[in-house]
Chain A
Amino acid sequence: MKSIKSSIAFLLAGFLIVAFGDTGLAKDECLNCHQELEDELQTPALKIKNDIHFQKGLTCADCHGGDPTSDDPDISMSRAKGFRGVPSHQTVPQFCARCHSDANFMKTYNPRLPVDQYQKYKTSIHGQKIVKGDEKVANCVSCHSVHEIMPANNPKSSIYPVNLPQTCAKCHADEEYMKEYGIPTDQFSKFSVSVHGKALLEKKDIGAPACNDCHGNHGATPPGIGSISNVCEQCHVVMGELFSKSPHKPAFQEMDLPQCETCHSNHDIIPPNDDMIGVTEQSICMECHAEDEENDGYKVAAQMRMRIDSLRVRYEKAKKLLEEAEEKGMEVSDARFDLKDVYSALVATRSDIHSFSLPVVLETSNSGLELADKTMEKGKQALEEYNFRRLGLGISTLIITLLIIALYMKIKAIEREQKTS
């Protein structure tokens, strides 16, 4: 009997340990209390479960200080117990930086996470304004949210690439809110229809740039006129290199024109097309280079466009020929392979436009034109071969048909003979 009693006591003790023994929730009186409160005092306790800090084992007291083991607010939230309370708008960056700027502390959680956010923030427009007492400018929680902070690679996070433009737009698209700063508020609407915006927001291609990829994130600032090409070059490497060696680079600098942006604009970058180059009305070149046969820029623009048009037309012709041959059942996979190279040459020529150098464009386009001619020739040969096959078929069908007739007549003759005999 005694042993049964002691067994029950042992099991009960085990159950209590399992049920309440090691849950942070049971010990954290901050959470226990705030869960019972209402409205904004309850919200942090509800949201915190999704927060990366909570999931990594940090408690309310780790940020706010105080004694989480006491259920008496006078003790748990006493200054004597180190309670820091809610930081003001201006002090939020320092509040977060206590841990996030501490490399030794941060590497115990995530060694790959940078610890220079606060340093960068201080260089940003946001950071510069906040120290001047601006209560509206963004601080950490404006972008990362409060009590529901998620890592950047979590698709639910406010700073996940696909969500980031909306996060910035909360303030930057609000005309009323941004009024006093005197900057445009159409960036998001322009970005949404741009080639980058469509890729990011519609196709959910997180390789496409969001706001922070050009402006920086913690050190957010508009790129200066002279550094725009450096920003774009992060992805558009070839174009960036070609441009930096082109005659346009010093010319733009002299005229105080932004580099890539002058032709492609900034937030509303549309997919480039061949009409942008050349000397037609739609051409951007004509905005600076006057219609003058003697003007070098005018001549180069006209010739570059001519090269692109020739290559494109020949590519399309070759493609059409191969399609026609394929429709007729001809095997042209080798020529198809060449056609891909022609297309690559067309793309390379379009990229070479950024050198604004006719010899560079000529060199690339010439190899493409040569290959396009060869591919067209292969297409023509395939169609000639098809006609030869039809001729061969015609002749052999005729011979077989004559044999069929002759055989039929022979059978009839044999049968007639058999009937008479």
Chain B
Amino acid sequence: MSNIGTKIYGWLDERYDLTALVEFGKKKTVPIHRESVWYYFGGLSLFLFMVQVMSGVLLLLYYRPGADQAYESVKFIVTNVEFGWLVRAIHSWSANLMIFAAFIHMFSVYFTKAYRKPRELTWITGMIMFFLAMGFGFSGYLLPWNELAFFATKVGTDIVGVVPGIGEFLMKVLRGGDDVTGATLSRFFGFHIALLPAIFSAFLGLHLMLVQKLGMSTPIEYEKADNSNLKTMPFFPNFMLRDALLWLIVLNVLAILAVFFPFGIGPLHWPLGLKADPFAPAPAGIQPEWYFMFMFQTLKMIPGKVLFIEGELLGIFAFGAAGLAWTLVPFWDKKSARGEKNKLINILGIAAIAFIILMTAIGWL
């Protein structure tokens, strides 16, 4: 370390006891086994979130909220601003890849039962961040104020309104009135760039702190085996550098996708299209983002009435209950907590993945 560096380190160490932190980092290891590959998806989600923050800040330099300016400003970004098209494409692709990485991270943690004691809160904070990420997606989708975004938001917020009791109130809160208007856009802009990032950052800090404190979880089968045989690698620098290697590879993929498909590809697309017109008829083929598709398709397929309950309401309750049960899995999966195998968890997880893939495919076809 250079002389100045040593001096700065010394100054900080004297006040904040950095040596203790460095010692902690030196001792920190990551288990090596067949499932180690899944450890990288948490870091990858974090990397893509950082890309989101950086590209989002750049977009913010030119984006103007408001029904009479939003569409024009996004159009200006992609046509006139130097590399504006690239920043928007990166922001859009990175958002989708982040959700995808978060899905893989969530399912890998689920199947390896990494949520079991003592990591219950790590799982809970992760799940909250997953829901917040979806909120980022939903609120960000409206910001270009184009036709597709307008009607997709209308349909999405209509679904919220179905919930008995608080549904209508929630819908009005989201929309800032009875209908999707410029007030909704201002509100979603606020959610997207201030409220959600603030909450997300708090949970992200907590999540990372818990990960550092508790270390990486070892799957049950390796934990039960003789621990002295389990290989490990130091977190610093080995795992961190491997993480960085994957981030660079993903950055390369992101650049290729952004250049060749700046407005997306297939069902994963975000063309600017026409400006939102509340008086125009809804265009054909309104679809939510891919990660909402399985829920949207299920609600579409449920009959209007199931026994005495409204079909849509039943669907919303079912998804709510399933989401809650999924989030609380560390508290009801007693077997895994005791270090025993739990096949039911695997069956439920596989069923959930199959259901998501099937419903998404039906929605797209």
Residues of A near any B CB (own CB < 8 A): 329-331, 333-334, 389-390, 392-393, 396-397, 400-401, 403-404, 407-408, 410-411, 414-415, 418
CB distance from B18 to the nearest CB of A (A): 22
* CB <8 Å contact, B252 and A389: no
Q: Say how far B69's CB is from chain A's closest CB, in angstroms.
A: 17
B259 touching A407, Cβ below 8 Å: no
Determine the chain A residues whose CB is within 8 A of the CB of B237 once the complex forms.
414
C-alpha spacing A329/B272, complex, angstroms: 11
- Sample (13) of A-B pairs whose CB atoms are under 8 Å apart: A330-B262, A331-B78, A333-B75, A333-B272, A389-B86, A397-B252, A400-B248, A401-B252, A404-B252, A407-B241, A414-B241, A415-B238, A418-B238
Report if B225 contacts A (CB, 8 A): no
Q: Is B245 an interface residue (CB 8 A)?
A: yes
Contact A331 B79 (CB under 8 A): yes
Query: Which of B75, B79, B259 gathers the greatest number of chain A CB atoms within 10 Å?
Result: B259
* Contact among A331, A396, A401 for B272, CB-based, below 8 A: A331
**Minimum distance in angstroms from A414 CB to a CB of chain B:** 6
Q: Which of B234, B244, B262 contacts A329 (CB 8 A)?
A: B262
5 shortest interchain CB distances as A-B pairs: A393-B259, A329-B262, A400-B252, A331-B78, A404-B248
Interface pair A410/B241, CB less than 8 Å apart: yes
Distance of A331 Cα from B256 Cα, bound (Å):
17
Which residues of A lie under 8 Å from residue B244 when comparing CB positions?
407
B: interface residue count bin: 20 to 34
Is the pair A390, B252 in contact by a Cβ cutoff of 8 Å?
no
B200 is an interface residue with CB less than 8 A from chain A: no
| Residues of chain B with a CB closer than 8 A to A390's CB | 259
Q: Give Cα A396 to B86, complex, Å.
A: 13
Complex CA gap A99/B134 in Å reads: 72
Q: Cα distance A333–B272 when bound, in Å?
A: 9
- Residues in B whose Cβ lies below 8 Å from that of A403: 248
A414: chain B residues at CB < 8 Å are 237-238, 241
A407 to B244, CA, bound (A): 8
Residue B334 lies at the interface, judged by CB distance under 8 Å to chain A: no
Q: Is B261 an interface residue (CB 8 A)?
A: yes
Nearest-neighbour CB distance to chain B for A331, whole angstroms, equals 5
B260 in contact (CB, < 8 A):
yes
Interface string of B234-264 (1 = CB under 8 A from A): 1001100110110011011001100111110
Taking CB atoms, residues of chain A closer than 8 Å to B249 are 404
- With A331-B272, A410-B241 as known contacts, state yes or no: A389 contacts B259, CB within 8 Å: yes
Cα of A403 to Cα of B255 in the assembled complex, Å: 15
Q: A404-B248, A404-B252, A411-B241 are in contact. List 8 more A-B contacts (CB 8 A).
A: A329-B261, A331-B75, A331-B79, A331-B272, A333-B79, A400-B248, A407-B241, A414-B237
- State the CA gap A331–B237 with chains docked (Å): 43
A400 touches B245 (CB 8 A): no
B255 engages A400 (CB within 8 Å): yes
Q: Which residue of A lies closest to B233 (CB)?
A: A415
Closest to A328 in B: B260
Q: Is the CB of A407 within 8 A of B252?
A: no
The answer to whether A393 touches B256, judged by C-beta atoms less than 8 angstroms apart, is yes
Question: Contacts A397-B255, A404-B252; is A329 near B260 (CB within 8 Å)?
Answer: yes
Q: Determine whether B85 belongs to the interface, using a CB cutoff of 8 Å to chain A.
A: yes
Which A residues are in CB contact (< 8 Å) with B261?
Answer: 329
- Residues of the A chain whose Cβ atoms lie less than 8 Å from the Cβ of B262: 329-331
Q: Across the interface, which residues of B come within 8 angstroms of A401, CB to CB?
A: 252
Query: CA of A418 to CA of B236 in the docked complex: distance in angstroms?
Result: 12
Contacts of A392 in B (CB 8 A): 259
* Bound Cα distance A389, B260 (Å): 9
Verify A397–B256 contact, CB threshold 8 A: yes
Docked Cα-Cα span, A419 to B79, in Å, equals 54
Are A396's CB and B245's CB within 8 A? Answer: no
A414–B286 Cα distance when bound, in Å, is 52
CB-defined contacts of B79 to chain A, threshold 8 Å: 331, 333-334
Bound: A407/B255 CA distance, A = 19
Q: Which residue of A lies closest to B252 (CB)?
A: A400
A396 to B261: give the CA distance in the assembly, Å.
17
Whole-angstrom distance from the CB of A72 to the nearest CB of chain B? 61
Whether A407 pairs with B272 at a CB distance below 8 angstroms is no
Is the Cβ of A331 less than 8 Å from the Cβ of B255?
no
Given known pairs A331-B85, A414-B238, A415-B238, the reply for A407 and B248 (CB within 8 Å) is yes
Instruction: Note all chain B residues with C-beta closer than 8 A to A334.
Output: 79
Residues of B contacting A410 in the complex (Cβ-Cβ under 8 angstroms):
241
A329 to B262, CA, bound (A): 6
Q: Considering the chains assembled together, what is the distance between the CA atoms of A403 and B246 in angstroms?
A: 11
B265 CB to closest chain A CB (Å) equals 9
CB distance from A393 to the nearest CB of B (A): 4
Chain B: minimal CB distance from A257 (Å): 48
Interface string of B4-22 (1 = CB under 8 A from A): 0000000000000000000
With beta carbons under 8 angstroms apart, the residue of A330, A396, A411 that contacts B255 is: A396
Complex CA distance for A401 and B261, rounded to whole angstroms: 20
Pairwise interchain contact A404-B245, C-beta atoms closer than 8 A? yes
Alpha-carbon distance between A344 and B259 when the two chains are bound, in angstroms? 34
Minimum C-beta distance from B337 to chain A (A): 35
A411 touches B238 (CB 8 A): yes
B234: which A residues are within 8 A, CB to CB?
418
**A334 closest partner in B (C-beta):** B79
Task: Chain A residues near B255: list those with CB within 8 A.
Answer: 393, 396-397, 400
Interchain nearest-CB distance for A322 vs B (Å): 13
